[in-house]
Amino acid sequence: MKFSCEKQILSEAINNVFPAVSSKSTIIALEGILMDCKNNQLSLTGYNLELGITKTIPVTGIEEGSIILNASLLSSIINKMPNGTVQLTSDEKLLTVINCADVEFTILGLDAGEYPDIPQVNGDRQFEIPHFLLKNMISQTLFAVAQTDQNPVHTGSLFDIQEKTLCLVSVDGYRLALRKEKIQVDDPFKFVVPGKTLSEMMKLLSRLAPEEDETVRVSVSSKHICFCISGYVLISRLLEGEFLDYKNAIPKEGQTTVTLETRAFLDSINRASIIINERAKSPIRCTFSENQVKLFCETALGKISDSLPAEITGPEVSIGFNNKYMADALKASECDKIRIEINGPVSPMKLLPAEEEDFLFLVLPVRLKS
C-alpha cells in the first residue's frame, strides 16, 4: 500500500475515528485503525464491537492495499509531523514507512484480514435530517441520559417517530428531556441509540458550520444504526429493552405557571451552588408567589437567600430541587425565557419554552423538611 496526503487532512480523519478504537482488547486488531486504499481514496476505520467510525478522504500516488496500524502510535506520529505532505508506504511484510519533509518513522502493522467485520446496515428504514437540527436535538437531550446501567436501555436516547414527527427522549430516573421536530417519514418506528454513540455523533456534527447545507442520512436495521455525513460513516448497535412510557410520565397542565428569564434563574441557582458539594448536600428551596421567585439553601458551609422577578399565575407553591439537575435543564433550553409548570410540591416540574413547545424537560422534586 502506498499513498500521499496532506498532514492536516490525514490528522483530522485519524483523530475523528480514534474514539471508536478499543483502548484495550483481547483482539489486538481492534486497538488499531484499519486503512484501506483504493480508487484514489483512503478509508480509515475505528471499531470497538459496539461503535464503528469510518472516514474516507482523497489521496494521491496510490498503490492499492490495506493494513491495520496501532491507533495510538499512528495518531501520535501524524499529529507531531511537520505540516506538509505525508507519504505512507507498507510492504508485503507489513513494514510501514511514514515520512513528511525530513521526518521518517518505520513501524510494523497487522494484516487487514485480522480486523473483525463491521455490521452492515441495509437500511430497512431510512430518513434524512439537517445536520444542525440533529446536533441541536442531541445537545438538548443528551444531558438526561442515565449514567448507570441499572436499567441499560436508559443509557441511551429513544428516537420515536410518529405522524412525521421525531421525538428524542432521554431519562435517568430523576429527570426527563424531550425534543421534537417534523421530519419526512411516513411509517412510525422507534429505537434506542446509546448515549456514547450520540456523544460522538455530536462531536462530528460540531465540526460542521451551522450554515453548511449538510444532511445526515440515517439508516436503521433491527439491531444497528448508521449515520452518514460528509464522508463519515458512524455505525452503532442499538439498545434493547423496554423504554419508559414517557407520554404517561409527563404531567398535564400545571396549576401554577411561572415565566421568567432563563439566565437570571440559572445565575441564581449557580450562586446557591457555591455552598453545595458532595459533603454538604442540600436541595434548593424555591417559593413561587406574587410574581417573585424566592430561593433559599442552607448547608454546613453556610446559607443563601435570593429572589428574582417572574410572571406567575396560580396558587403559591414551595418546592425543592437538586441544583445540578435544574441547572442542566436550564442550560440545555437554549432560550431567553422559560415556562415552568408545577402541580404541587411533590409533582415533577415541567420546563418548556415561553412560547413554542419544541422541547420539554421534567425535573423531579426533592422532598423538603417542614
Residue-wise pLDDT for 189-224, tens only, equals 999 999 999 999 999 998 876 667 789 999 999 899
255 CA to centre of own chain: 34
Task: Name the domain boundary from 114, 138, 172.
Answer: 114
Nearest alpha carbon to residue 46 among 80, 23, 79: 23
Q: How far is CA 325 from CA 25, 342, 343, in A?
A: 35, 16, 19
Task: Name the domain boundary from 59, 81, 114.
Answer: 114
The predicted pLDDT at position 207 comes to 82
Its sign, for the CA torsion 264, 268, 269, 274, is positive
Its sign, for the CA torsion 266, 268, 274, 275, is negative
The more confidently predicted of residues 313 and 187 is 313
Same domain, yes or no: 208 and 255: no
- Is the Cβ–Cβ distance between 293 and 286 less than 8 Å? yes
Query: SS3 of 18, please?
Result: helix
216-239 core/surface letters (b: 16 or more CB in 10 A; e: else): bebbbbeebbbbbbeebbbbbbbb
The Cα–Cα gap between 135 and 52 comes to: 19
Same domain, yes or no: 220 and 141: yes
Residue-wise pLDDT for 226-275, tens only, equals 999 988 999 999 999 999 999 999 988 889 999 999 999 999 999 999 99
Has residue 157 been placed in a domain? Answer: yes
Residue-wise pLDDT for 271-290, tens only, equals 999 999 988 889 999 999 99
The more confidently predicted of residues 370 and 135 is 135
Same domain, yes or no: 45 and 131: no
Q: What residue type is 235 in one-letter code?
A: I
The Cα–Cα gap between 367 and 43 comes to: 55
The Cα–Cα gap between 193 and 16 comes to: 19
Same domain, yes or no: 239 and 258: no
Radius of gyration of the chain (CA): 25
Same domain, yes or no: 218 and 295: no
Residue-wise pLDDT for 15-74, tens only, equals 999 999 998 889 999 999 999 999 999 999 999 999 999 999 999 988 999 999 999 999
Residue with cell 462530528: 204
CATH code for the domain of 260: 3.10.150.10
Has residue 120 been placed in a domain? Answer: no
Residue-wise pLDDT for 95-153, tens only, equals 999 999 999 999 999 999 999 999 988 767 999 999 999 999 999 999 999 998 889 99
Has residue 89 been placed in a domain? Answer: yes
Same domain, yes or no: 215 and 272: no
Read off φ and ψ for residue 307, nearest 5 degrees.
-155, 155
Same domain, yes or no: 146 and 209: yes
Has residue 369 been placed in a domain? Answer: no
Q: What residue type is 193 in one-letter code?
A: V
Has residue 36 been placed in a domain? Answer: yes
Average pLDDT over residues 284-313: 95
Same domain, yes or no: 135 and 208: yes
Has residue 370 been placed in a domain? Answer: no
As for how many domains the chain has, the answer is 3
The predicted pLDDT at position 178 comes to 97
The predicted pLDDT at position 123 comes to 67
Same domain, yes or no: 172 and 198: yes
Nearest alpha carbon to residue 37 among 87, 84, 81: 87
CA angle 270, 276, 279 (to 5 degrees): 155
CA dihedral 9, 15, 16, 21 (to 10 degrees): 140
351 CA to centre of own chain: 21
Which residues on adjacent β-strands are paired with residue 344? none
The predicted pLDDT at position 213 comes to 77
DSSP state of 214: -
The predicted pLDDT at position 210 comes to 67
Same domain, yes or no: 240 and 255: no
Please state whether the predicted TM-score (pTM) of the whole model is above 0.85.
yes
- Is the Cβ–Cβ distance between 204 and 232 less than 8 Å? yes
Task: Name the domain boundary from 114, 142, 171.
Answer: 114
CA dihedral 135, 140, 146, 152 (to 10 degrees): -50
Has residue 203 been placed in a domain? Answer: yes
Residue-wise pLDDT for 322-364, tens only, equals 999 999 999 999 999 999 999 999 999 999 998 878 899 999 9
Domain range enclosing 138: 125-247
Same domain, yes or no: 214 and 254: no
Same domain, yes or no: 296 and 350: yes
Has residue 329 been placed in a domain? Answer: yes
